[in-house]
Amino acid sequence: MGRMFGTDGVRGVAGTELTIELAMKLGQAGAYVLTKEQAHQPTIIVGCDTRISGGMLANALMAGICSVGANAIFAGVVPTPAIAYLTRKHKVDAGVVISASHNPMEFNGIKFFNGEGYKLSDQLEDEIEELIKTDMKDVPILTGSAVGRIEYRLDIKEEYISFIKKKAAVDLSTLKIVVDCAEGASHYTSVKALKDLGASLVAIHVRPDGTNINANCGSTHMEELKARVVYEKADIGIAFDGDADRMLAVDEMGNMVDGDQIMAIIGNHMKSKGMLKKDTVVVTVMSNLGFTLMGEREGIHLEKTKVGDRYVLEHMREHGYNLGGEQSGHIIFLDDITTGDGLLSALHLLSVMVDTGKRLSELSGIMEVLPQALVNAKVPNHKKEHYMDYAEIADAVKELEGKFNGEGRVLIRPSGTEPMVRVMIEGKDQDVIEREAQKLAKLITDIML
């Protein structure tokens, strides 16, 4: 059996893979591990996205929490970053979000935050997992007055909205905005915040029914938003994913503006105001080469981590940086909050538009997005970490990078879940990089299979 926790909590099809029994055990083990050092009766805040399975799993999880003597506060449907913020603000012992983010409706997930509002370390996740595998060995299940209580605080999301508006106080009265809430957790919070700040707002996909989250909408399906922005003659389109910890944008001409471009725009603006710590943005190895070239030109240093917003965050905290994120739209403003926050990212981007008076299409021109080609090479699972041990593959990569001469790059990385390595090539000519990626992927498969 592989590791239960992935890069963003425990995920699976609700009911069969992520069962109510597993949710209850995660509640028990999580509450025990995260609160065992506390002398007081611990409290954990719980929230979920709009999936139909959210209530089922939340109740199972909270039953587990209460069974080991901790209290639960149920915040209802809220964005993931709201739980991170509320955990910290109310000085409770931990927070839990029930969400599968951008995944289809039938999936769900459970992810934990510690009392400081940060995602858990691998060590703590392993401790929780070990308790579950040993069937809660040595974890006391309490009775009588020692059992925890559940408090329902569906109003608490208003505190999150007030916090976000204070952190990014911008007058949006000059802007017309189309927002796509993915029938997800932001359907109330983002609409209220944007309206409160004065935006002329067209809100789409804000009628969740439990089964339509992420269904042809949100940040993974941008087609409708692009068309709607042009039709409405809007200044910008904003798309969230199901749990609203990430966002992507659409300019006034209907072109997508991805996470790299958003960070480039905001990073440059922060640098001009002396607010970008160490003139550095933290990104992952999948970030577009155009971002690196822009940074070299504008005096912004990029530090790269492996894929996953948790690794970006760890690097930011370790080295004292305040802006980082992923091409997919997870952007972390560490001066403001402890995790990626789609609404906060949107407001920071909107602030740049208001401050500069420039259209988004003009702002996004600060970096050229170089074409990317991604091809999967099938390899034996036990060999996928060792592709560079083969001289023929290493030589082919070196030769290709020499051919690009700084205007392209080759990135090969093993899949975290499948028996394959992913070949990603960037360059200025889409046909050339597609051809080279196919050729390199075939070479890897032929040699390693």
**Distance (Å, whole) CA 354 – CA 100:** 34
* C-alpha separations of 265 from 218, 279, 338 in Å: 22, 13, 21
Q: Are 140 and 318 in contact (CB under 8 A)?
A: no
**Distance (Å, whole) CA 158 – CA 100:** 23
**361 flagged as catalytic:** no
Query: Which residue stretches of 201-337 are H helix?
Result: 223-232, 259-272, 289-298, 309-319
**Distance (Å, whole) CA 73 – CA 62:** 9
Q: Which of 53, 67, 99, 101 is catalytic?
A: 101
Containing 96, the helix (H) or strand (E) segment is strand 94-98
Q: Are 282 and 323 in contact (CB under 8 A)?
A: yes
Q: Are 246 and 219 in contact (CB under 8 A)?
A: yes
Q: Are 14 and 53 in contact (CB under 8 A)?
A: yes
Q: Are 246 and 220 in contact (CB under 8 A)?
A: no
**Distance (Å, whole) CA 95 – CA 210:** 22
**Distance (Å, whole) CA 380 – CA 375:** 16
Q: What is the DSSP string of 197-236?
A: TT-EEEEES----SS-TTTT-GGG--HHHHHHHHHHT-SE
**Distance (Å, whole) CA 173 – CA 161:** 18
Q: In the beta sheet, which residues pair with residue 94?
A: 44, 114
Residue numbers annotated as active site: 101
